[in-house]
Structure 1
Amino acid sequence: MTADSTWSIGELAERAGVTVKTVRFYSDRGLLPEEPRSTGGHRRYGPEALDRLRVIRSLRALDLPLPDVGRVLSEEGALDDALEDVVAGQLRDIGSQLAALRWREAALQLLQDCTPAERTERLLLVGAMSAPPSTAAPARFWRRWLPLRMPARVVSAVLEQAVPQPPEDPTPAHVLAFARLHAFTSRSCEGGDRGQPAAHRTDEGFRPGVLYEGLSEAHALASPHLRDQQSPHEGEALDCFVSAHAASRGVRDTPAFRRALSRVLAADPRIDHYWQLVAELTGPSRPTPGAAHDWLCAALDAQVARQAT
Structure 2
Amino acid sequence: MFASYDGLCSIGELAERAGVTVKTVRFYSERGLLPEAGRSAGGHRRYGSDALERLRLIRALRALDLPVREVHRILDADATGESVGACGTGSVLEDAVAGQLRELGSQLRALRWREAALRLVQECPPGERAGRLSLVGAVAAPPTTDSLVRFWRGWLPARMPAAAAAAFLDVAVPQPPDDPQPAQVLAFARLHAFASSPCPGAGRPQPAAHRATGARGAAVLYAALAEAYELAGTQLRGKRQPHRGEALDSFVDAYVRAYGSRDTPDFRRVLAGQLASDPRIDRYWELVSQVVTPPGGRPATTPGAAHDWLCAALAAETAATA
TM-score (norm 1): 0.93
**2:71 counterpart (69, 72, 77):** 69
Of 111-120 and 244-253, deviating more is 244-253
Give the CA deviation at 1:264: 1.8
Q: CA separation in 1, counterparts of 2:166 and 2:119?
A: 34
Give the CA deviation at 1:205: 11
Q: Which residue of 2 aligns with 1:7?
A: 9
Distance 1:205 1:151, change over 3 A: closer
Q: Which residue of 2 aligns with 1:153?
A: 163
Q: CA RMSD in A?
A: 2.1
Q: Which residue of 2 aligns with 1:94?
A: 104
**1:202 counterpart (202, 212, 219):** 212
1:106 aligns with 2:116: yes
1:259 aligns with 2:269: yes
State whether residues 262 and 300 of structure 1, in contact with CA within 8 Å, keep that contact through their aligned partners in structure 2. yes
Pairing 1:1-309 to 2, within 5 Å after superposition? 3-75=5-77, 76=79, 77-78=81-82, 79=84, 80-189=90-199, 192-202=202-212, 207-283=217-293, 284=298, 286-308=300-322
Q: CA separation in 2, counterparts of 1:204 and 1:147?
A: 7
Give the CA deviation at 1:274: 0.6
Give the CA deviation at 1:204: 8.2
Letter in 2 for 1:51: E
SS of the aligned residue for 2:33 comes to: coil
**% of aligned pairs identical?**
62
Residue by residue, what CA displacement relative to the aligned partner does 1:18-37 show, whole Å, maximum 9, x if unpaired? 12222222222222232233
Q: Which runs of 5+ in 2 are unaligned?
A: 85-89
SS of the aligned residue for 1:44 comes to: strand
Residue by residue, what CA displacement relative to the aligned partner does 1:74-115 show, whole Å, maximum 9, x if unpaired? 112113222111111111111111111111111111111111
Distance 1:19 1:149, change over 3 A: closer
Runs of 4+ in structure 1 displaced over 4 angstroms?
203-206
TM-score (norm 2): 0.89
Q: CA separation in 2, counterparts of 1:190 and 1:262?
A: 22
SS of the aligned residue for 2:179 comes to: coil
Q: CA separation in 2, counterparts of 1:153 and 1:205?
A: 12
Q: CA separation in 1, counterparts of 2:55 and 2:43?
A: 22
Distance 1:4 1:285, change over 3 A: same
Residue by residue, what CA displacement relative to the aligned partner does 1:118-168 show, whole Å, maximum 9, x if unpaired? 111111111112112221111111111122342222111111111111111
SS of the aligned residue for 2:56 comes to: helix
Distance 1:46 1:282, change over 3 A: same
SS of the aligned residue for 1:287 comes to: coil
Distance 1:50 1:298, change over 3 A: same
State whether residues 206 and 249 of structure 1, in contact with CA within 8 Å, keep that contact through their aligned partners in structure 2. no
Letter in 1 for 2:253: S
Q: CA separation in 2, counterparts of 1:212 and 1:204?
A: 12
Letter in 1 for 2:65: D
Q: Count the aligned residue pairs.
A: 308
Q: CA separation in 1, counterparts of 2:40 and 2:214?
A: 89
Q: CA separation in 2, counterparts of 1:204 and 1:112?
A: 49
Q: CA separation in 2, counterparts of 1:205 and 1:74?
A: 52
Q: CA separation in 2, counterparts of 1:252 and 1:103?
A: 50
Distance 1:23 1:148, change over 3 A: closer
Letter in 1 for 2:304: G
Letter in 1 for 2:58: I
